[in-house]
């Protein structure tokens, strides 16, 4: 009998505890849902969509104002400074060109001047002639090597080298002719300027 009473009490307690636990779980779930909703709404409130109205106003670029005499003046001070700097630079360049021209006109054409010009032209001619002779020697050696080779691949390589050397020799021959023309031009200019023949030796 006592056992039955004890069992009845335990069953009654368990049956009354279940609705309490269920109720507390429902409350917790509801509170969690309200919290998430609040966080979500707060996030929406902090987000802001920017439009063109929210951007700051930027001043338009400076416009060029045309005056009555046909000249254009910039409305911005920086443009005016730039224009004046460009004008000053142009003046300096023009002045430098005039100065160089004046120096050339006033250059003393004495014996040292004519000697330097003719010797420079002659040295260039000697250098080109030396290179041409060396190139001709290389062509001769390549030709001999080409004749004495039996391997077709080696002959092809040698032939290509010889063709390049011959092209270089033609370039040097043109340079030699230009050097001779330069010497003749200096001599003719000296003759017109009545330069003594000894100055060109």
Domain boundaries, the chain: 110-200
Range among 43-52, 62-71, 143-152 with highest mean pLDDT value: 143-152
DSSP 55: S
**CA–CA gap between residue 68 and residue 75 (Å, rounded):** 15
DSSP 75: S
Beta bridge partners of 65: 73
Beta bridge partners of 72: 66
Nearest in space to 166 (alpha carbons), one of 151, 186, 146: 146
Q: Residue 136: CB partners within 8 Å, gap ≥ 6?
A: 169
Beta bridge partners of 74: 64
- Residue 83: predicted pLDDT: 55
**CA–CA gap between residue 173 and residue 35 (Å, rounded):** 96
Here the tokens at position 100 are 């160089």
Q: Residue 114: CB partners within 8 Å, gap ≥ 6?
A: 186, 190, 195, 199, 200
- Residue 104: predicted pLDDT: 56
DSSP reduced 3-state for 59: coil
Strands 64-66 and 72-74: antiparallel
Model pLDDT for residues 119-165, shown as the tens digit of each residue: 999 999 999 999 999 999 999 999 999 899 889 999 999 999 999 99
2-6, 99-103, 183-187, 188-192: the lowest-pLDDT one: 99-103
């Amino acid at each position: 009998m006592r056992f039955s009473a004890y069992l009845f009490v335990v069953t009654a307690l368990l049956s009354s505890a279940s609705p309490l636990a269920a109720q507390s779980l429902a409350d917790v779930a509801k509170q969690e849902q309200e919290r998430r909703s609040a966080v979500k709404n707060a996030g929406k409130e902090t987000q802001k969509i920017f439009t063109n109205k929210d951007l700051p106003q930027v001043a338009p670029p400076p416009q060029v104002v045309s005056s009555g005499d046909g000249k254009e003046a910039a409305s911005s001070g920086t443009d005016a400074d730039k224009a004046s700097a460009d004008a000053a630079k142009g003046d300096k360049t023009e002045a430098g060109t005039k100065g160089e021209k004046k120096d050339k006109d006033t250059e003393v054409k004495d014996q040292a001047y004519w000697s330097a010009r003719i010797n420079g032209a002659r040295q260039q001619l000697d250098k080109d002639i030396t290179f041409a002779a060396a190139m001709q020697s290389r062509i001769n050696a390549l030709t001999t090597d080409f004749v004495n080779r039996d391997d077709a691949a080696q002959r092809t390589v040698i032939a290509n080298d010889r063709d390049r050397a011959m092209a270089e020799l033609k370039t040097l021959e043109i340079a030699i002719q230009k050097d001779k023309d330069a010497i003749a031009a200096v001599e003719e200019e000296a003759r017109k300027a009545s330069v003594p023949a000894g100055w060109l030796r």
